[in-house]
Amino acid sequence: MARAARVSDSAAEIIVIGAGIAGLAAAWRLGGAGIDVRVLEAAPRAGGLIETERRGPFLVEWGPHSFLHNAAHVVALARDLGLADRIVLARPRARRRYIYSRGKLRRVPAGPLSLLFGTLLSPRARLRALREPWVARGASAGAAAESAYDFFARRFGGEFAERIAAPFASGVYAGDLTALEAGTAFSRAVAWEREHGSVLRGALREWRARSGTGAAARPRGSYSFQDGMGELGAALAAALGDRLECGAAVHAIERAGSGWWIRAHGLSGDATWHARGVAIALPAHRAAEILAPAVPAAAAALAEIPYAPIAVAQFGVRNEMLTRPLDGFGFLTIAREGPPILGCLWPSAIFEGRAPEGVSLLTVFLGGVRDAEIRAATEGAVIERARRGLAPMLLREDAPVEFAAARVLPRAIPQLVVGHTARHDRLSGIASGLGTIAFAGNFLGGVSVEDAVRSGLQAAEALLVGVREPGR
């Protein structure tokens, strides 16, 4: 059937491309400011990486599981959407986090005292880490190009960097500590050093300041929604209504006088929209492709951002099959020690209602930059490898499971590697020069859901100025 071309035109219209949480947040803000906004999303559903699946009696997260107590933008957005009562706090025990090392799950120290008595680090390394408040800043302190490994090794010692910070970088970025840029990937720790001369001192001051705010402060810990993180995307999609168009894959953006043409393959044929402003809330590599002809300098900066693959495997397991109780959030692994997984979350131990009574849900993460071949793995191969990874500490390889499923995300997490700040500045300079294009997404200033929401809101603010300012 021949595809019909559609053209609509509106001088005040802003198009948001991509309905991940960043694009949805941008559109929500723009709509709230009275802008005629439309969101174009390639997939059949909104939410992007956020995807909660009800699988029989299990509530399975294929993307993010939680956000932290300090995720102010997520909480404010949830409140605006009427979801405040749906927010759930993780069980207190979920504060325990483990790292698998030297044949055992070992508690990650939650503070200086547990650092002193924990077994993750050698006695010498523990003392070195505790000397952190007295370590001078040094010449490389605050340098934009310092790697996260160099930062943590400088502040806390090499063993701390390898055995605590590196698994953490695997858990959050599926990344390599030696490649990540300290100032972007661990911006709070770097700010604490800058402002207080010490990471531990800065963390302590922040903790005291939060405690001082009394009842208004949200208890520390991880949060989600009663029916999982998908509630947030679903509520935004419902609020946007027919301003959100799923199944519309944008393939080109071209200049149109003071605005833009946006060309997409839609469910009902090819379509072209005219917009005064565009919020680009796509993964960086996808944004690079569609921007290359019209704004090559932006496309070049976007194309430089590397991505790590992740595979996710899910298992429902009867509790008696587990070789230890799930008394925490989950565990991470140390690359050098070899288990073929990045780590495992214990969703049914973290939140209520994720698995039926007597059964546990395990979510295993594999791949990352340390094992990039995972990109090509089949579902069966991921499940098999995840089972091998769980065998030493949690679940015998031949133990029966209630269900098993897996997915591979070939480009899951952007890597905020050394040089990112410079790249980000280049991109921001181009966007503010144009005025009518803004970028949003997890490839800008951080990869958490909170970072993505914040970036979406910031893109909306920039566009509100850009499209309303006469003479642009």
Ligand X SMILES: Cc1cc2nc3c(=O)[nH]c(=O)nc-3n(C[C@H](O)[C@H](O)[C@H](O)COP(=O)(O)OP(=O)(O)OC[C@H]3O[C@@H](n4cnc5c(N)ncnc54)[C@H](O)[C@@H]3O)c2cc1C
Residues near ligand X, by CB under 6 A: 17-23, 40-43, 48-50, 63-67, 249-250, 281-283, 286, 310, 312, 409, 412-413, 441-442, 447-450, 452
Residue number with CB closer to ligand X (285 or 318): 285
Structure tokens at 90: 């993780």
CB 396 within 8 Å of CB 323: yes
Rounded to a whole number of angstroms, the minimum distance from the CB of residue 114 to ligand X is 23
Closest distance between ligand X and the C-beta of residue 248, in Å? Answer: 6
Question: CA-CA distance, 185 to 1, in Å (whole number)?
Answer: 48
Among candidates 311, 324, 387, 388, which has minimal Cα distance to 360? 324
Q: Which is nearer to ligand X, 286 or 354 (CB)?
A: 286
Reading phi first (left if > 0) and then psi (alpha if -120 to 50, else beta), residue 274 is in beta
50 or 177: whose CB is closer to ligand X?
A: 50
What is the layout of strands, in order, in the sheet containing 222-225?
67-68, 222-225, 87-89
**Contact in structure between 353 and 59 (CB atoms under 8 Å):** yes
Q: How far is the CB of 43 from ligand X (least distance, A)?
A: 4
Distances 50 to 115, 229, 320 between C-alpha atoms, Å: 34, 7, 31
Our CB check for ligand X shows the closer of 25 and 153 to be 25
- Minimum CB–partner distance for residue 116 and ligand X (Å): 29
Find tokens 């995840």 and name the residue: 386
CB of 411 to ligand X, least distance (A): 9
Q: What are the two backbone dihedrals, phi and then psi, of residue 169, each rounded to the nearest 5 degrees?
A: -65, -35
Task: Find out whether 271 and 245 touch, Cβ atoms under 8 Å.
Answer: no
For residues 129 and 409, which CB has a smaller minimum distance to ligand X in the complex? 409
CA 435, 441, 446, 451 torsion-angle sign? positive
Q: Which two tokens stand for residue 198?
A: 């010490």
Shortest distance (Å) from residue 264 CB to ligand X: 7
Please identify, using beta-carbon distances, which residue of 35 and 90 lies nearer to ligand X. Answer: 90
Checking DSSP bridges between strand 14-17 and strand 37-41, what pairing results, if any?
A: parallel
CB 297 within 8 A of CB 427: no
Of 121 and 189, CB closest to ligand X: 189
Do the beta carbons of residue 244 and residue 46 sit within 8 Å? Answer: yes
Alpha helices in 270-405 (DSSP H): 284-291, 296-303, 347-350, 379-390
Query: Looking at beta carbons only, is 104 or 188 nearer to ligand X?
Result: 188
Q: Closest separation between CB of residue 370 and ligand X, Å? A: 15
Residue 39 vs 390, nearer CB to ligand X:
39
Between 22 and 148, name the residue whose CB sits nearer to ligand X. 22
For the CB of residue 207, give the shortest distance to ligand X in the complex, in Å.
20
Spatial contact of 396 and 432, defined as CB atoms under 8 Å apart: no
CB of 124 to ligand X, least distance (A): 34
CB of 163 to ligand X, least distance (A): 22
Q: Nearest-CA neighbor of 104 among 163, 162, 159?
A: 163
Distance (Å, whole) CA 294 – CA 255: 7
